[in-house]
């Protein structure tokens, strides 16, 4: 198969000069598949794509992919096992895909504006209020496609007259990720007014690995009873291998080797128990502290807790390492029942400042009034730090104190129905089929986090949660 494709589109929401230019992508794609004796499978795919975002000589990218498969259950030696395992297929795939959906259109072109601000002489010294010509973005003539090398080892099994298993181990390495070279000092002149506009380049690298599997079971027990079940499981983790960020002074603050968008903050040690505890502890750089305030760990040991003591904590929000689901159905005579569960695990988030700042807009949550630190309880069973008249910035820094486990299990759907039997339908001479049912959506959620919907991963709980529904209905076929 050989296919030529060209796509032109104009986004009416883009109002600036660059965005008003129609977008175009074009390229060739091809596929060749070979199957020998229904046992050996080979496939080749390729894409030769062009993007307007890159300069001449960099526009085109070649992205091949290869796959081989072996149906072991079709081999003569497998015949003794066929009564137990009807299908055993092993497959290996590897290939490269490209991405040009970067945050800088026409990345190779330098952009000039006539709205430049004051001239700058030296660091932090700006003079004059007149406007002038200024560079808003430094083009990179070497800008090119982001690439991802993906590999997969999979197996498909059908066994025991009703069970199907799919399992895949996958690995992805992304290279040439478009990232800003923030490590370049401003002394080199990459500024616009007082703002840094360091150039971008294909400098980032990251990897992702994991396991994806599913299990299905279907069994017609007899004429009256049928059972069906399906479960899915996904585990994956990623980490940054290289980026354009400034190398931090302390290794524990480096993003290299950390998951993408991981939580970042201080390590909380509990509450200050007394004024003596405050006096004997490192100074915390967010105002005066008192008993009942959150106490943080001085990671670098300099006698002061500040931004240099922040590090990576917990698991990334919104991207659980484990996602799974389970659903099934049972049909007995005219009655049918089905259900679906979903779950997420190894994810965390911080419900902080706007969520529980006690003086924000004059608000005070009842849960804070009931569960805050007091001198009488000295922190025992206290969920929140002490209350105060003014804002306590110390207590609302990103930290393990506010870090919450976002794992949950949810009953997404449950349904029970009843279908009228065919004898009654024939007698009615009206319906060819009639079924009544009751459906419940999002009826139950099991999670350690109780303040609001854990699936929202919100830091303040002001978003609408997933709604619960109970529906009554019928299906009629005439």
Residue 95 tokens read as 């290939």
Show Cβ contacts of residue 80 under 8 Å, excluding neighbours closer than 6 positions: none
Among residues 60, 66, 70, 27, which one has the least CA distance to residue 45?
Answer: 66
**DSSP string spanning 58-85?**
TSEEEEEEEEEEEEGGGSGGGGGGTTTE
Average pLDDT, integer, range 118-146:
73
Phi, psi of 410 (to 5 degrees): -130, 135
CB 59 within 8 A of CB 51: yes
Per-residue pLDDT tens digits for 337-384:
999 999 999 999 888 654 555 555 556 677 777 888 988 887 778 888
Nearest to residue 227, comparing CAs of 282, 181, 161? Answer: 161
**Residue that wins the pLDDT comparison between 327 and 422:** 327
User: Has residue 431 been placed in a domain?
Assistant: no
Residue 465 pLDDT: 78
Averaged pLDDT for residues 168-177: 97
pLDDT tens-place string over residues 194-222: 566 888 999 999 999 999 999 999 999 99
- Residue 97 resides in a domain: yes
Provide the mean pLDDT of the chain.
87
User: Model's pTM, two decimal places?
Assistant: 0.85
- Domain span holding position 241: 2-246
Let me know if residue 34 belongs to a domain.
yes
Residue 439 maps to a domain: no
CATH number of the domain that 31 lies in?
2.40.170.20
Number of domains in the chain: 1
152 inside domain: yes
Report the first-to-last Cα separation within the chain, whole angstroms: 44
Which pLDDT belongs to residue 268? 96
For β-strands 304-305 and 283-284, DSSP reports them as parallel
Q: Return the DSSP state at 448.
A: S
Mean pLDDT of 432-442: 88
Each residue's pLDDT tens digit, 276-311: 999 999 999 998 999 999 999 999 999 999 999 999
Residue 124 lies in a domain: yes
What's the pLDDT score for residue 22? Answer: 77
């Amino acid at each position: 198969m050989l296919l030529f494709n060209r796509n032109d589109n104009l986004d009416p929401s883009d109002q600036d000069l660059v965005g008003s230019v129609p977008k175009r992508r074009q390229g060739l794609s091809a596929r060749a598949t070979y199957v020998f004796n229904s046992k050996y499978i080979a496939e080749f795919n390729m894409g030769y794509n062009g993007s307007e975002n890159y300069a001449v000589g960099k526009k085109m990218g070649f992205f091949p992919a290869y796959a081989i498969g072996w149906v072991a259950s079709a081999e003569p030696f497998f015949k003794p096992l066929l009564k137990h395992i009807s299908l055993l297929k092993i497959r290996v795939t590897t290939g490269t895909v490209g991405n040009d959906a970067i945050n800088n259109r026409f990345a190779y072109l330098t952009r000039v504006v006539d709205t430049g601000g004051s001239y700058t002489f030296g660091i932090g010294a700006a003079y004059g209020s007149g406007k002038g010509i200024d560079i808003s973005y430094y083009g990179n003539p070497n800008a090119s496609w982001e690439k991802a090398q993906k590999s997969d080892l999979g197996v498909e099994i059908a066994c025991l007259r009703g069970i199907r298993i799919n399992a895949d181990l996958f690995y992805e390495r992304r290279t040439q990720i478009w990232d800003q070279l923030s490590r370049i000092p401003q002394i080199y002149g990459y500024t616009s007014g007082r703002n840094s506009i360091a150039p971008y380049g294909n400098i980032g690298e990251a990897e992702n690995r994991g396991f994806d599997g599913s299990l299905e079971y279907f069994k017609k027990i007899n004429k009256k009873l049928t059972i069906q079940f399906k479960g899915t499981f996904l585990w994956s983790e990623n980490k940054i291998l290289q980026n354009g960020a400034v190398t931090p002074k302390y290794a524990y603050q480096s993003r290299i080797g950390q998951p993408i968008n991981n939580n970042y903050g201080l390590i909380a040690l509990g509450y200050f128990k007394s004024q003596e505890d405050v006096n004997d502890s490192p100074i915390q750089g967010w105002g005066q502290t008192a008993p009942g305030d959150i106490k943080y760990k001085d990671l670098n040991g300099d006698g002061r807790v500040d931004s240099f003591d922040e590090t990576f904590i917990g698991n990334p929000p919104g991207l659980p390492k484990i996602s799974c689901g389970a659903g099934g159905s049972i049909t007995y005579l005219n009655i049918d029942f089905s259900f679906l569960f979903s779950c997420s695990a190894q994810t965390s988030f911080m419900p902080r400042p706007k969520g529980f700042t006690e003086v924000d807009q004059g608000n005070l949550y009842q849960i804070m009034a009931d569960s805050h630190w007091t001198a009488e309880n000295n922190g025992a069973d206290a969920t929140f730090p002490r209350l105060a008249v003014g804002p306590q910035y110390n207590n609302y820094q990103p930290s393990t104190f506010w870090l919450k486990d976002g794992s949950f299990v949810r009953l997404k759907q449950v349904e029970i129905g009843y279908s009228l039997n065919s004898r009654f339908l024939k007698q009615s001479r009206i319906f060819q089929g009639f079924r009544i049912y009751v459906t419940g959506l999002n009826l139950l959620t099991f999670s350690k986090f109780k303040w609001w919907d854990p699936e929202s991963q919100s830091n303040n709980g002001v978003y609408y949660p997933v709604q619960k529904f109970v529906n009554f209905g019928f299906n009629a076929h005439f």
